[in-house]
A and B are shown apart, each in its own frame.
Chain A
Amino acid sequence: MTEAFQSVGKSVIRKDAWEKATGQALYTADLSAEDLTFGAILRSPHHHARILNLDVTAARKVPGVKAVITSDDIPGEKVFGPLVQDQPSLASDVVRHLGEPVALVIASTRIAAEKARERILVSYQELEAVFDPVEAAQPDAPQLHTDGNIVSELHVGDGDITVGFQEADVVVEGTYNLPRISPGYMEPETSLAIWHEDGTITVWVSSQHPFTDQAVIAAALDMPVDQVRVKSAVIGGAFGGKEDSSLSILAALGAWKIRGAVKLVNNRRESFLAHPKRHPARIHYKLGARKDGTLTALQAEAYLDTGAYASYGPAVAMITTETMTGSYHIPHVKVDSYVVYTNSPLSGAMRGFGSPQSHFAVESTLDILAERIGLTPIEIRERNILQPGDQLYTKVVMNESALALPECLQKGREIMNEFRAAETTPGKLSGVGIALAAQSMGLGANVPDDSSHRLEWAPDGSVLIYLGAPDMGQGLAAAAEQITAEALGIPYERVYSLPLDTLETPNGNVTCASRMTYMAGNALLDASSSLIQSLLNEAGRLLDQPPDQLKYRDGMVIKPDGVEVPAVEFISRLAEESITLTAESTFSFPYPEETTPQHLPIGMPHVLYCFGAQVARVEVDPDLGTVEVTHFASIHDVGKVINRAGVEGQIEGGVATGLGYALYESMALKGDAWVDSFTEYLLPTAVDLPENYRSVILEVPEASGPYGAKGIGEIPLVPTAPAVANALYDALQVRIYDLPITPEKVMGLDK
């Protein structure tokens, strides 16, 4: 029997879309304030240098300048960081990467601030820099911090790889190099801070977790947390890159210093140097199998370049490590991974969070192995694919939702056959490739993974959601509204999400890790039940009836005699008594008992997975080495679709970013400077996307999800690059080990 849904599963129109389409939506940079001043950040011109002297005297004299701020002016914590407190808000003694903030100028105009910035005199003593994570991990490498360059390391295994490789008939190995890529959100980082006369401060910031900003601002200003109010305006994309605090601390510092209002906006060059990027990684991958294709052993070693500061590096490396076996069962596994400081701009969270790197190694090596054994890419995947009940080498057991994985593969097989039948353009060679993905959801066990949200019944009968985590553009608000509307049996049009305000909103924790629809959805389902119960209690009082004899359905209170009274009648009467019905709920990610550190070899294992498969067809010009993706299919299980257009949008956008990883994007060192503009850092454009594209959405219910839903935010970009690389091999028999796939690499001309 299919359950009939009113809101869930529909392609509803997002309520924020109208104001975005008319240009009326206000992003942080669009906000203003009385007597607004502007900040300009002096950034390090060196990759690694000691600051010998910092003289701001001349800068302070520039007309219009209100303050020039250095590390010495910070009254509280001078460093911050989500996992390791290692990143200075303003460098004091040493700069560790190009573009690191050294001083902040506040002036009445942007131009005055920029002019004063030029007058700041800094003398640097350049230090030797290191950019390669493997080199940086050596004991004789230039040291960035006092405790060595290795931020964290993991050594995880299961079974005995010596036995596993002895059992193998074929063993292949290779080293994969993954580039540094940018989340590439269109809205650069921005913050606006206003100091109030009562000694409190309000800060708007484009952030995935304003509560973190609130905490780090309070720490930097040495203020009580409750005197710092952080608010979200409309957010112009984030993709993980706005998980770290950045400009909010500096804007707040400026506002505090001048006792006024300060706006800070990174331009794109500053953004490239400042925001966290996907970790460049070097992965050595050795995989063994029997003649029939059964995998017997894996040994992998990964070095992740986290740049000058740790950011989320150690957590990213956990997911790289956990997903090193991809979607497959491998009995004997040993994985060693290292997160290493280098003098690169920092790497941190980005959509996929460590798993695009591991998946490129897994899915490429699997095709190499299949060819050696004489199996097709489909056959080797079918032989080893995870099933419900299978245990990963991290001892996490796949739940029933893993039934989706073979379904994705089966669908992928059908589409591969279809793509193979396409006609090849004369002069080109064509090939088809497939890759699977298993992407974890949630923050991981043994770290707080809770999410709180509140509902309020407004006097006009509409329902407000105090959504505890920001919608960064992906459509969280609409999904939350649909789930709430469904649970309350009222129209989606009558439910509104409010922008986040730390003063008003419960803490929903970070919008990340494909977790928000699941977390907020579950919390809102529970809050809806509580809200209905409160309504029935109050209705009982007003009607002089025992509440347990009243029922609620679809916005109506049903009396024992069957008469239905619209809920809004009670809500408006309660409003007259100054009673507002609210319900807040916290959902905690359900981690089983066995995920405590005593039971598992990895600190914060992830227990719930999203699954997908992608199929690419490419045409290659054998003389020029150019690769065109002509056909692409992205197959994903989402448990249950909440907003169909939203799910499709996540998949389509993810695939585009995945194609960028595959073919175009790399924030590399060019000469002595980083690629730091869209002139050289190529995001895919409308002409670069495959003309024949489709999303296939499967719904294998997740028992713990709201209406059975799981996440979809990250996985659509995870298998893309290996699917394209495998298709290229199929076309040309050229195996790519280093992304992006440039014509030079295709032709074997790169050094």
Chain B
Amino acid sequence: MKNIEVEFTLNGKKTSLSSAPNLTLLDVLRDELGLTGVKDSCGGEGECGACTVIINGKPVNSCLVFIGQVEGLQVTTIEGITPEDGYHPIQRAFVEAGAVQCGYCTPGAILATKALLDSNPEPSDRQIREGLSGNLCRCTGYTKMLDAVHRVIDEGQDD
């Protein structure tokens, strides 16, 4: 299989790479680019949200995207929203609300929250639940995740 050349913006930086066309964005992020904050849980079926990234403002399961499909698009991973010094307000809220247990779903859930709040800064409780419904978590029962999102909204800190 011939490699394809792909150019896209990853965490704000122009990125070009050559890749086998049958690799997913998840494969490339984890295995080629070493961005292991993006996780695989359901085995590439788009069911769990652990591999959530933001593509052009929308939360997407990166396991369902072939690498060629991100040509020209803006991809943001958990690494991309973490400031060099400190934490993104959503990260801080998740930590302080006690929404992080095993942490395996956390990067995906934080990115889903970011995509939600970027498009709808004051969602209702129902909208928050729907916004997080693609991100499975077995530890928290979601209660403290919802608390965390409400904290962010209340503090009006999301950028």
Query: For the complex, is A187 an interface residue (Cβ under 8 Å from B)?
Result: yes
Q: Which of B107, B138, B142 contacts A23 (CB 8 A)?
A: B107
* Contact with B37, one of A14, A23, A271, A677 (Cβ below 8 angstroms): A23
- B contact residues around A237 at 8 Å (CB): 101-102, 104, 138-139
Q: How far is the CA of A579 from the CA of B9 in the complex (A)?
A: 53
- A686–B101 touching, CB < 8 Å: no
Q: Which residues of B contact A222 (CB under 8 A)?
A: none
Select one of B36, B136, B137, B144 contacting A648, CB under 8 A.
B144
118-159 of chain B: CB within 8 A of chain A: 125-126, 128-130, 132-146
Q: CA A405 – CA B102 in complex, angstroms?
A: 30
A258-274: contact bitstring with B at CB < 8 Å (1 yes, 0 no)?
Answer: 00000000011101000
A177 to B12, CA, bound (A): 54
Whether, in the assembled complex, B64 has its beta carbon less than 8 Å from a beta carbon of chain A, the answer is no
Interface residues of A in 623-659 (CB under 8 A from B): 645-646, 648-649, 652-657
Known: A16-B103, A17-B95. A689 touches B42 (CB 8 A): no
In the bound complex, residues from chain B placing their C-beta under 8 Å from that of A184 are: 138
Complex interface: chain B residues within 8 A of A649 (CB): 98, 101, 139-141, 144
Interface size on A, residues (CB 8 A): 56
B144→A677 contact, CB < 8 A? no
In contact, A645 and B106 (Cβ under 8 angstroms): no
In the complex, B114 has a CB within 8 A of chain A: no
* CA gap between A473 and B92 in the complex, in Å: 18
CB distance from B56 to the nearest CB of A (A): 20
The chain A residue with its CB closest to the CB of B31 is A110
Q: What is the chain B residue whose CB lies nearest that of A677?
A: B45
Whether, in the assembled complex, B115 has its beta carbon less than 8 Å from a beta carbon of chain A, the answer is no
A377 within 8 A of B: no
Task: Assess whether B5 is interfacial by the CB under 8 Å rule.
Answer: no
Contacting pair A186 B143 (CB below 8 A): no
Say which residue of A268, A657, A686 sits within 8 Å of B146 (CB atoms). Answer: A686
- Known contacts A11-B98, A186-B104: does B142 contact A656 (CB below 8 Å)? yes
B45→A678 contact, CB < 8 A: yes
Distance between Cα atoms of A188 and B110 in the complex (Å): 21
The interface size of chain B toward A, counting residues with CB under 8 Å, comes to 56
Q: Which of B40, B98, B100, B125 has most A Cβ within 10 Å? A: B98
Main DSSP-derived SS at the A contact region: loop
Contact status A268-B43, CB under 8 Å: yes
In this complex, the member of A13, A237, A646, A654 whose beta carbon has the largest number of chain B beta carbons within 10 angstroms is A237
From B91, B104, B129, B138, contact of A239 by CB (8 A): B138
- Nearest CB of chain B from residue A228's CB, rounded to whole Å: 26
Residues of B within 8 A of A653 (CB): 101, 137-141
- Return B19 CB to nearest CB of chain A, in Å: 13
User: Besides the contacts A23-B107, A686-B135, what 11 more A-B pairs have beta carbons closer than 8 Å?
Assistant: A21-B103, A22-B37, A23-B38, A23-B78, A187-B39, A268-B41, A268-B45, A474-B102, A649-B144, A656-B138, A678-B136
Check A677–B43 contact: CB distance below 8 A.
yes
Is the C-beta of B26 less than 8 angstroms from some C-beta in chain A? no
Contact B145 A686 (CB under 8 A): yes
Which of A25-33, A68-76, A414-422 forms contacts with chain B? A25-33
B117 interfacial contact with A, CB 8 Å = no
From known contacts A14-B100, A237-B139, infer whether A186 and B87 are also in contact, taking CB-CB under 8 Å.
no
Partner of A268, one of B42, B78, B144: B42
Most central of B96, B129, B139, B140 by chain A CB within 10 Å: B139
Closest to A474 in B: B101
* Residues in B whose Cβ lies below 8 Å from that of A188: 40-41, 43
Q: Is the CB of A185 within 8 A of B87?
A: no
User: CA–CA, A271 to B132, complex, Å?
Assistant: 24
Given known A23-B36, A677-B47, contact A187–B106 (CB-CB < 8 A): no
Residues of A within 8 A of B36 (CB): 23, 26-27, 29-30
B37 with A24: CB separation less than 8 A: yes
Q: Closest Cβ of chain A: how far from B57's Cβ, in Å?
A: 20
Interface string of B28-59 (1 = CB under 8 A from A): 00100001111111111101101000000000
What chain A residues lie within 8 Å of B136 (beta carbons)?
Answer: 186, 678, 683, 685
Pick the 9 closest A-B CB pairs, nearest first. Answer: A23-B37, A473-B102, A20-B103, A236-B104, A645-B98, A656-B141, A268-B43, A652-B141, A23-B78
Q: Is the CB of A474 within 8 A of B42?
A: no
Q: Bound complex: CA of A145 vs CA of B142, how far in Å?
A: 43
Pairwise interchain contact A236-B47, C-beta atoms closer than 8 A: no
Query: Which chain B residues border A17 with CB–CB below 8 Å?
Result: 94-95, 100, 103
> What is the CA–CA distance of A236 and B104 in the complex, to the nearest angstrom?
5
Which B residues touch A268, using CB under 8 A?
A: 41-43, 45, 48
CA distance A318 to B140 in the complex (A): 29
B 57-89 to A, binary, CB cutoff 8 A, 1 in contact else 0: 000000000000000000001110010000100
Q: Find out whether the CB atom of A236 lies under 8 angstroms from the CB atom of B144.
A: no
Cβ-defined contact, B103 with A686, below 8 A: no
CB of A235 within 8 A of chain B? yes
Contact of A27 among B43, B104, B130 (CB under 8 A): B104
- Expressed in whole angstroms, the minimum distance between the Cβ of B81 and any Cβ of chain A is 9
Q: B residues within 8 A CB of A14?
A: 95, 98, 100
A655 to B105, CA, bound (A): 18
CA distance A12 to B44 in the complex (A): 35
Give the CA-CA distance A685 to B135 in the complex, in Å: 7
Q: Tell yes or no: A157 within 8 A of B by CB.
A: no
Distance A475 CA – B132 CA, assembled complex (angstroms) = 23
Q: Tell me the complex Cα distance, A438–B129, Å.
A: 32
Contacting residues, chain A, for B139 (C-beta < 8 A): 186, 237, 473-474, 649, 653
B104 / chain A contacts, CB cutoff of 8 Å: 27, 185-187, 236-237, 473
Interface contact A693-B143, CB-CB below 8 Å: yes
Let me know if B47 and A679 touch, CB within 8 A. Answer: yes
CA of A530 to CA of B87, assembled, Å: 39
